[in-house]
Structure 1
Amino acid sequence: MPQHHGRTADATPFSVSRSSPVPEAIDELWERRADLSPTDDAARRTVTEAIDLLDSGAARVAAVDQASDEVVVDERARRAILLAFRVLSMRTSEAGPFRYQDRLPLKRRFDRVRVAPGAIARWGSHLAPGVVLMPSYVNVGAHVGAGTLVDTWATVGSCAQIGSNVHLSGGVGIGGVLEPPGAVPVVVEDETFVGSRSVIVEGARVRRGAKLGAGVLLTSSTPVFDADTGEELPRGQAPAWSVCVSSTRLRMFPGGEFGVPCLLVIKRLGEGEEHDKLLLESLFREHGTAL
């Protein structure tokens, strides 16, 4: 059954069933995974069918439950990915002049998706209609929502969950997670903007409508502060409908006083408010960052 990881705040329209669409046979294979190999035809068929569910979007490794606002992780789906590395053999594949040697082939299902030359998506990742991939990388188990732009040299790690109408700017790094069991993937919700060269890892969460300036580092343990009040907000989360920049706070250590990275909320947006791009860029520049 899926595992639940609660985080309280504003609910989002991102929802998932609490029962896994991945067949229970995956759990049975997992219990005897040490004995599996590419010679087990039945196991390979079962795992291939499960990965196809992820590839099509019929299943996903994680999402936010609308009723509880919890990140719900489907461990069975994640197990299917891990089993693929046991039951699939190494194969050579080609894309134009480029050759690859891997157990997982490249993705072939692109339903109304634009894929620019140089972009790579692995089988088992889901790209919803309207997604645009500039030269970038999307790993197995990732789920990218409709209308999202994955810009040049951005990476979407294994099992990362990216919402609809998101802009991942150039060089953004979205962390992946396959192990350990129970670890929460990165979730970037709908209508968000992640500035150039930002890094979102370790199960951090960018809530709906948040706008992040360039160079933001957000992990599950990153402190988050409100610039107007000084209030400390839930760690590892960019609040919904906020404008955030990277900052530091001073802390005393035995060796002296040092700046520790944090996320600073510099503006609150009304729900559904789309901030003018020029005004947003000016706001970021005032705080030493940019789009």
Structure 2
Amino acid sequence: MTTPFTSPLPEAIDELWQRRTELTPQDAEARATIVGAVDELDAGKARVAFVDRATDEVIVDERAKRSILLSFRVLDMAEAQVGDFHYHDRIPLKTRMDGVRAVPGSIARWGAHLAPGVVLMPSFTNIGAYVGSGTMVDTWATVGSCAQVGENVHLSGGVGIGGVLEPPQASPVVIEDEAFLGSRSMVVEGARVREGAKLGAATILTSSTRVFDAETGDELPRGEAPAWSVCVTANRVKSFPGGDFSLPCLLVLKRLEAGQEHDKLALNELLREHGVNA
């Protein structure tokens, strides 16, 4: 039997959530509690969600999400400046960057955790996100609020990772360790890219996307790229009263050996056989 999850954040967050409509930036005690909770997320001492290895389920810390939502009520709008660029927002930019390479043009908001070894090209990482060690967030990629990205992941240029901040109990997008997302791929609505999965360029994955195995034709769990697989967006014909229409799906082209090292050239060659690039 697994031990029920207990949030590391203070129970006071739940009480504040019940009276959230009453909170203002003038509530100093509430603000201190909420800022302290989001600081824990920023430091990686707490996180919005994680995969329970014993059950393979995504566990969501509702208290973490509530902390973020409450911060919008108790923080004043403030001006900030970086060089010639001026900003006006409630949420400041992230300052805890130990061991992180953040090149000019990259933006990360306070409340996002970036583990040592993360590389940020000009990109955007939103509050509540978690990015694991060794992960590359490439040019113009976006990591949405509360999105969970594992270790040694490559988010190629223009990749869009949705968040899912509300409702608090909803699972955010989860990208597990060793995954590779090709250019302009989009993963949204709490979809899950499992360990070692590789997505070809412009792959679209939502929580309701149907997933099929190209070798067997079997339908797999919706909204998930299987572990150690190579996947692309495809179309499947469905009949409606008004005619037959092609609807997008995720097609699993190949299964990889668990732990197989990512070979960009080999992946490109495989995808090009099917008219797709990485």
Task: Please confirm whether the aligned pair reaches a TM-score higher than 0.5, indicating the same fold.
Answer: yes
SS in 2 for 1:30: helix
Q: For residue 244 of structure 1, what is the amino acid of its counterpart?
A: C
Q: Once the two structures are superposed, what CA deviation does each residue of 1:98-145 show, in whole Å capped at 9, x if it has no partner?
A: 111000000000010000111000000000000000000000000000
SS in 1 for 2:268: helix
Structure 1 residue 255: deviation in Å?
1.8
Residue 169 (str. 1) matches residue 123 (str. 2): no
2:95 to 108, 114, 123: 108
Q: Once the two structures are superposed, what CA deviation does each residue of 1:222-258 show, in whole Å capped at 9, x if it has no partner?
A: 0000000000000000000001111000111122111
What residue is the counterpart of 2:244 in the other structure?
257
| Cα distance change on mapping 1:191 and 1:17 into 2, 3 Å | farther
> What percentage of aligned pairs have identical amino acids?
68
What residue is the counterpart of 1:234 in the other structure?
221
Structure 1 residue 289: deviation in Å?
1.1
Return the alpha-carbon distance in structure 2 between the equivalents of residues 113 and 140 of structure 1: 17
Q: For residue 27 of structure 2, what is the amino acid of its counterpart?
A: D
TM-score with structure 1 setting the length: 0.93
Residue 184 (str. 1) matches residue 171 (str. 2): yes
Unmatched tracts of structure 1, length 5 or more: 1-15
Return the alpha-carbon distance in structure 1 between the equivalents of residues 222 and 261 of structure 2: 25
Q: CA RMSD in A?
A: 1.1
Q: Once the two structures are superposed, what CA deviation does each residue of 1:157-176 show, in whole Å capped at 9, x if it has no partner?
A: 00000000000000000001
Question: 5 Å matches for 1:176-215?
Answer: 176-215=163-202
Structure 1 residue 181: deviation in Å?
3.0
1:219 to 206, 210, 217: 206
What residue is the counterpart of 1:38 in the other structure?
25
Could you list the runs of 4 or more consecutive aligned residues of structure 1 that deviate by over 3 angstroms after TM superposition?
none
TM-score with structure 2 setting the length: 0.98
C-alpha contact 1:207 1:240 (8 A) present in aligned 2: yes
Return the alpha-carbon distance in structure 1 between the equivalents of residues 169 and 145 of structure 2: 14
SS in 1 for 2:17: helix
Residue 137 (str. 1) matches residue 124 (str. 2): yes
SS in 1 for 2:163: coil
Residue 281 (str. 1) matches residue 260 (str. 2): no
Structure 1 residue 192: deviation in Å?
0.4
Structure 1 residue 275: deviation in Å?
4.0
Aligned residue pairs: how many?
Answer: 276
What residue is the counterpart of 1:148 in the other structure?
135
Structure 1 residue 17: deviation in Å?
8.1
